Structure 1
């Protein structure tokens, strides 16, 4: 009986990998006959697991969606990955997901063995959110789920993007900052496109099979980053920092990109290569030393608008805290 129970758990673990499993392959993996596999499949169905069978030479077994969610079997590394993912999801900009992630995290931690909880805690405490992460509009979780499902099932997808209908073959979901992006091949434009999911509405899987295409360069995240850099205006920067170059290097933990030259008056001049205004501003803020921007005008304008934004955000801070002890 104990062997039968262990075999059922092994069979269930195999079926929870999303693919069609031929009966002969399951029998080989479990070291039993095809008849035993069929009998075990019937037992799983009696326990409420919706196992679908496809007949024919290319047939097999697949675990499908049912009316209720059955228990999941996770390997140690899978459980750790899910736990870390839930911690991350609790801070992501997906509508309603933060609270749900916290609840799911509590359930998972309750049953995790101590050795795995230590791994999760170690990873969580050694990971720090970037202080300059972008705020984002919340993403519809249903849109996220549908997009992910069409990627997994190699289906085409239709949606509206900025009130325009799009028909695509989705390839990957990518997170950047606190935003979600869909990388897809746009069938109407015959080219690769990236879409911010917080701007996507009326998402629907078409059921039509998507063509297998390789992402340019083979890396979805790198492709998204290159597209973002191409779309964002970039320009060099000429900055005088009121401190020696050594102090700047010490603050940054290394030399910044470009050239950093000491001046006779005790300042240093930083000639930065072309980059976006956001990245120039981020580096200057992280230095934490007085500076003057010599050029270009685009960077001066960007810093002024950023300064005005922060000034507005903090203008009432003193008054609101005046009565506090």
Structure 2
């Protein structure tokens, strides 16, 4: 193989397989001399790839973890698997991955060949993810379009359905995507209304970047605080949950133990705040497998009763 860039890519692809490669085997696979392999290893090191060499009659090379993550080479199956995973995570605003998953997905889908984009879409459309059930899932393609427009920055057009069902077309200068853990929001400057707005991404459709660049405006506060203020006036976004479990605190998952109140008598009272739909909170509590009683709020007690009735009906003989 006489083409140096192509040979380096082939060498890198081999080294990314988690094993130690004898220099003679690398030379045989790439049809070059051992001396050429040594030079190519040095070139990869200069590019930031931490290639470790071992001494001996044969000598060997392997790729190890370094201080920074250099570009990776992925085969077709790996690229499809990662894209599907990122789409699933981004589409449901999973807490902890948030904007990073969307940025990674936007970068990956930008360079995916069309044959792989088709496979990713086909695989995702044929699968179902268990989500929170509060209608907050979004189309990952909408998220990637928005993420690319934010990074551009490019003006964005989309159709929007408000909470009361009113539909409109918007032309905005996108600023940030913000995840609350259960929903995605776009913070953008609405050009027709000449003001900053927050848009729930699950209510957006037909989003596309116009290609028109713009100079970013200064948002008066950071994007997270802007979204938080927009949610606050509705009052029902956050509420206090109080639940009594028929078990000790040590038997509860960690996310509940943090809210455990001092007490005894074989039960544990847990209090925490939530912004999720009551149906989702009840489902999470039920999945603990520990008997519990909802004390507050009334909406959560009603959701628990409704879920119990549905489950009872589902198990009744036909």
Report 1 or 2 for greater relative contact order, CA contacts < 8 Å, sequence distance ≥ 6: 2
- TM-score after normalising by structure 2: 0.49
